[in-house]
Amino acid sequence: MIKVLMHGCNGKIGQTISRIIKNQQDMELVAGVDPYLHIVNPFPVFATIDECPTPADVIIDFSTASAVPALLEYARQKKMPLVVCTTGLSDEVIEDLKNSSHEIPIFFSANMSLGVNLLIALAKRATEILADSGFDIEIIEKHHNQKIDAPSGTALAIADAINETLDNSYTYRYDRSTVREKRPHKEIGIHAVRGGSIVGEHDVLFAGNDEFITLSHQATSKEVFAVGALKAARFLVTKTPGLYNMDHLLQA
């Protein structure tokens, strides 16, 4: 039985994981961490990670960027595998995450959806074919009105994957209203829409002369992210220290 510690247990995805894990034969949610203690859970919940004394086999994190540094320190001290699903991390925190992976196994992905990661692979392939033919690249992401970070971590992951295919020679443009000029070719536009209860939508537009190609992914439920996180947790508990991502999981 894999014992799971849920960091961010009272958030929407944390509660989704709590519900799904009840039906898993090989997993048990033994404790949670969340500063908001207004929800009654069938497991002990602590306001901060430092207060949690409960041993576990793996930590799943769906919290906020500001909570991740303390979580990394806790995981290092306890030598516990860690699945980090929180987005909007600063460069400093990502560097800390990479350094921590020398001591413990860490799974880090901007999006836990299988479909989104397929979208990224398709976008990379499309870039290889279309970039030299003068196609412009734009990314549009849409999320609910409660999402804090913008653009989404997934949109940035898509942009980074595309840019790696282009030898990191493109720059990112987040707001075209700040500069009045024609669009340079070696640029990836990234646009964020926030409204209502949109779970998550990502479109990658390749705009050429007289033809346009759009790759799209829509999530209609947060359950896809929860299922992906549980798959990552199962994958990670048997691993040695290192930094793992969805590519490793898909190839396992």
Catalytic position from the list 78, 124, 147, 239: 147
Active-site residue flag, 143: yes
Euclidean distance between CA atoms 22 and 240, whole angstroms: 27
CB 51: neighbour CB atoms within 10 A? Answer: 10
**Angle between helix 12-21 and helix 223-236 axes, rounded to 10 deg:** 60
Euclidean distance between CA atoms 238 and 144, whole angstroms: 35
**What torsion, rounded to 10 degrees, do the Cα atoms 46, 48, 51, 57 define?**
80
Residue with tokens 């207004």: 38
Backbone φ and ψ of 177, nearest 5°: -75, -15
Catalytic position from the list 7, 142, 143, 222: 143
Active-site residue flag, 147: yes
CB 201: neighbour CB atoms within 10 A? Answer: 17
- Residues involved in catalysis: 143, 147
